[in-house]
Structure 1
Amino acid sequence: MGERTEWTARGGQTVEVDYPGPARTVVLTVTADGPAEITVRAGGADGTELYRGKGGWSVLVPPERQRELRRITAAGVKRWQLRLHDPAAAAELTGEVTGTGPRVLVHPGGTAAVDVTHRSSARDVQLFRLVRPTADGDREVLATNEHFGRDDRSRNWTLVLEGPQVLVVEQGESWSLTGRPADLPPSTETVRYGVGDRREVFAWPDGKGSVLLEVEAVDGVLLGLEDHAGRTLQFVHARAENGVQRLLVWADPARRALGPFRGEVLRSRRGWRLELLPVEDARELVGRVDGTGHDVLAYTGPPAVLRAWSLTDAASSVKVEAGAWRIATGYGGPQEWGGAMPVGGPSEPDEPEQVRVESGGRWRLEVVPLAALPTFDRRLVGRGADVVRWAGPPGRLTVRTTRRRGGLVEATVLDERLNPLGVTSTYGRRRHEPVELPHGRPVAVRTWGHDVRWRLVVR
Structure 2
Amino acid sequence: MGEPAEWTGRDGRTVEVDYPSPARTVVLTVTVDGLSAITVRAGGADGTELYRGKGAWSVLVPPARQEELRRITVHGVHRWQLRLHDPAEVGSVGSVTGDGPRVLVHPGGTAVVDVTHYSSAEDIQLFRLVRHTAAGGREVLATGERFGRLYRSNDWTLLLEGPQVLVVEQGESWSLTGRPADLPPSTETVRYGIGDRREVFEWPDGTRPALLEVGTAEEPEWGSVRLELTDHGGRGLDHGYVYVSTRDGVQRLLLQTEPARRALGPLRVDVSGARGSWRLELLPIEEARELADRADGVGNDVLAYTGPPAVLRVWTLAERSLYVTIESGGRRIRASRSRPGEWCGAVPIGGPAGPHGPAPIGVDGSGRWRLEVVPLAVVPAFARKLTGLGCEVVRWTGAPGRLTVATGRRNRGGVTATVLDERLKPLGSTGARPGLFRSLGGEPVALRPGDLVAVSCDFGEASWRLTVR
Contact between 2:211 and 2:284, CA under 8 Å: does it hold in 1?
Answer: yes
Work out the CA distance in 2 between the residues paired with 1:381 and 1:10.
70
TM norm structure 1: 0.91
Query: 2:129 aligned with 1:130, yes or no?
Result: yes
**Which residue matches 2:120?**
121
**Which residue matches 1:194?**
193
Structure 1, 294-303 or 197-206: larger mean CA deviation: 197-206
Distance change (3 Å), C-alpha of 1:162 and 1:405: closer
Contact between 2:133 and 2:164, CA under 8 Å: does it hold in 1?
Answer: no
| Alpha-carbon shift at residue 155 of structure 1 (Å) | 2.3
Query: 2:231 aligned with 1:227, yes or no?
Result: yes
Work out the CA distance in 1 between the residues paired with 2:39 and 2:417.
60
**Which residue matches 1:303?**
309
- The AA in structure 1 aligned to 2:141 is L
Secondary structure of the 1:123 match is coil
Work out the CA distance in 2 between the residues paired with 1:77 and 1:243.
50
TM norm structure 2: 0.89
Q: How does 1:232-247 map to 2 (within 5 A)?
A: 232-233=236-237, 234-247=240-253
- The AA in structure 1 aligned to 2:438 is R
Q: How does 1:147-166 map to 2 (within 5 A)?
A: 147-166=146-165
Q: Which of 255, 259, 267 in structure 1 is aligned with 2:265? A: 259
Instruction: State the aligned residue count.
Output: 457
Work out the CA distance in 1 between the residues paired with 2:65 and 2:96.
30
Q: Which of 429, 438, 443 in structure 2 is aligned with 1:430? A: 438
Contact between 1:329 and 1:336, CA under 8 Å: does it hold in 2?
Answer: no
Query: Which consecutive unaligned segments of at least 5 residues does structure 2 have?
Result: none
Distance change (3 Å), C-alpha of 1:138 and 1:211: closer
Structure showing greater radius of gyration is 1
Work out the CA distance in 1 between the residues paired with 2:177 and 2:404.
65
**Which residue matches 2:451?**
441
**Which residue matches 2:342?**
336
Work out the CA distance in 2 between the residues paired with 1:444 and 1:184.
48
Structure 1, 29-38 or 101-110: larger mean CA deviation: 29-38
Structure 1's consecutive aligned runs of 4 or more residues displaced over 4 angstroms after TM superposition are: 12-23, 41-50, 63-73, 403-407
**Which residue matches 2:212?**
213
| Alpha-carbon shift at residue 190 of structure 1 (Å) | 1.0
Contact between 1:115 and 1:177, CA under 8 Å: does it hold in 2?
Answer: yes
**Which residue matches 1:90?**
90
> What fraction of aligned residue pairs are identical, expressed as a percent?
67
Cα RMSD after superposing both structures:
2.5
- The AA in structure 2 aligned to 1:445 is V
Q: Which of 408, 414, 419 in structure 2 is aligned with 1:413? A: 419
Q: How does 1:19-168 map to 2 (within 5 A)?
A: 19-20=19-20, 23-42=23-42, 49-66=49-66, 69-94=69-94, 96-168=95-167
Deviations, residues 114-150 of structure 1 (Å, cap 9, x unaligned): 1222222223333322222333455332223343322
Structure 1, 281-290 or 122-131: larger mean CA deviation: 122-131
Secondary structure of the 2:261 match is helix
Work out the CA distance in 1 between the residues paired with 2:54 and 2:278.
33
Work out the CA distance in 1 between the residues paired with 2:325 and 2:153.
34
Secondary structure of the 1:130 match is strand
- The AA in structure 1 aligned to 2:205 is D
- The AA in structure 1 aligned to 2:261 is R
| Alpha-carbon shift at residue 26 of structure 1 (Å) | 2.7
**Which residue matches 2:467?**
457
Contact between 2:97 and 2:175, CA under 8 Å: does it hold in 1?
Answer: yes
Q: How does 1:270-349 map to 2 (within 5 A)?
A: 270-348=276-354
Contact between 2:158 and 2:195, CA under 8 Å: does it hold in 1?
Answer: yes
Secondary structure of the 2:337 match is coil
Query: Which consecutive unaligned segments of at least 5 residues does structure 1 have?
Result: none
Structure 1, 392-401 or 221-230: larger mean CA deviation: 392-401
Structure 1, 57-66 or 127-136: larger mean CA deviation: 57-66
| Alpha-carbon shift at residue 397 of structure 1 (Å) | 3.3
Secondary structure of the 1:317 match is strand
Work out the CA distance in 2 between the residues paired with 1:413 and 1:351.
23
